[in-house]
Structure 1
Amino acid sequence: MIKAVIFDLGAVLIDWKPEYLYQKIYPDESEMREFLRSICTSEWNEEQDAGRSLKEGTDLLLARYPEKKTAIRAFYDRWEEMLGGPIPGTVKILEELKASGKFRLYALTNWSAETFPVAERTYDFLGWFDGIVVSGVEKMRKPAPEFYRLLLDRFSLEAGDVLFIDDNARNTHAAEQLGIRSIHFTDARLLRSELEEMKIL
């Protein structure tokens, strides 16, 4: 029996894409894609999500690619421009779960400790959660098993009693290895259908 629902945030409840910013910097799409593929990569960003400071991460790239200084600095100087807003259908699901009072609600997110306060100020629905565990604060991130266990232990949850929702199959697979039932999120309509089938909505 599901007693708690754990949400990922980015690309599930919050639309965050570096492309929103970098299409302004690189009008040529192929040039933008190459920059994000080879310089400000998702792997590089994940190190900040795991606790490395924004300054250290930025300085590392500046030393390697000084000719890209403006574009590299923009990643965090203009980070808010990567926010596309809430994902309405999923936020509505969260709202309905909160209103039902049947489940405890948590978030487990890979997010820099330095940028997460911006999201908290921007999105009121983050206040609906009973607890949020942020990778940059804890200095560990999904899909590390200890990150999931940290949330379970902190909020006195059993793996078999929770449902985890994440847009990254790597992360849902890791959760399932720990006995956590998971949904690989692709869009809000399908999520609603799956939750209705599970009698959660």
Structure 2
Amino acid sequence: MKPVVFDLGGVVVVWDPVAPIAAAVGPERAERFVHGEEFDFAAWNHAQDAGRSWAEAEASATAAHPHLAEEIAAYRRNFPLSLPELVPGTAEILRALHERGMRLVALTNWSAETFHHAPQRFPEVFAVFTDVVVSGVEGVVKPDPEIFRVLARRLGHPLEGVLFVDDSLANVHAARAAGMDAVHFTGAPALWSELQERALLD
């Protein structure tokens, strides 16, 4: 049987970047920092997912936005708070696939320096994965085609027909371009139906 590849954030694990910052500066400032227009949190965090060190990220951001120093420092320091719970229903799907003998692999955009918090927080879920490809370790992020070539090497065979699940449409399109059978994750019930259609679950 071919493996099934899962994204992590938004598919398996809930990621809330506001919570670790709110713990230091309160929810209003944290919301403004993450979702406001003054600081581009998404682009800043994406660079760490692509391999930039947090020390460099924090230093450059603090130099450019000294008045946001508390917010900048709080995110990594309190990072475990960004992982409050599992996405409802996905763990049950993973267990069901695992019990059927499926090889489960994860492909995630995640900083190499903070990824360890996820398996520490949810060890029973991460135990079902035989491998996790972490963008920050590889130095390339989805939807870059190169990360799918990395995945193919890690799987040990071509990606044609391998099922991939991600909540980002851009990543789903890139996976399909790489030959994968990619599903856009919108929730566990819909994913269960997709897996039933493929005779992977009953």
TM-score above 0.5, yes or no: yes
Asked if the contact 1:172–1:182 (Cα under 8 Å) also holds between the matched residues in 2, the reply is: yes
For structure 2, the residue ranges without an aligned partner over 5 or more in a row are none
Letter in 2 for 1:195: L
118-127 vs 172-181, which deviates more? 118-127
SS in 1 for 2:14: strand
**Identity of aligned pairs, percent?**
40
Whether the 8 Å contact between 1:4 and 1:161 is mirrored in structure 2 is no
Q: Which residue of 1 aligns with 2:188?
A: 188
Runs of 4+ in 1 over 4 A off after TM superposition: none
| Deviations, residues 85-136 of structure 1 (Å, cap 9, x unaligned) | 22240011001000001x2211001111111112122211212111111111
The 1-side partners of 2:33 and 2:138 are apart by: 29
> What is the aligned-residue RMSD (CA, Å)?
1.6
Moved more, 105-114 or 35-44: 35-44
SS in 2 for 1:111: coil
Aligned partners of 2:18 and 2:27 also within 8 Å: no
For 2:56, the equivalent position in structure 1 comes to 56
Deviations 1:131-155 (A, max 9, x none): 1111111111111111011111222
Count of aligned pairs between the two proteins: 197
Structure number with the higher strand fraction is 1
* 2:98 counterpart residue number: 98
Which residue matches 1:9? Answer: 8
Partner residue in 1 for 2:83 = 83
SS of the residue corresponding to residue 182 of structure 2 reads strand
The residue identity in structure 1 corresponding to 2:32 is E
Structure 1 CA distance, aligned partners of 2:2 and 2:154?
15
CA contact (8 A) 2:140 2:147 kept: yes
Deviation (angstroms), 1:8: 0.4
Equivalent in the alignment of 2:143: 143
Partner amino acid, structure 2, of 1:80: P
Report the equivalent of 2:109. Answer: 110
Which has the larger share of helix? 1
- Cα displacement (A) at 1:40: 5.3
Give the AA of the match of 1:36.
V
What is the TM-score when the length of structure 1 is the normalising length? 0.92
- Is the CA contact (8 Å cut-off) linking 1:39 and 1:61 kept in structure 2? no
What residue in structure 2 maps to residue 34 of structure 1? 32
Deviates more, 1:125-134 or 1:152-161: 152-161
CA contact (8 A) 2:16 2:82 kept: yes
Contact 1:40–1:72, Cα closer than 8 Å, also in 2: no
| Unmatched 5+ stretches in structure 1 | none
CA contact (8 A) 2:161 2:179 kept: no
TM-score, structure 2 as length reference: 0.91
CA distance in 2 between counterparts of 1:123 and 1:180 reads 27
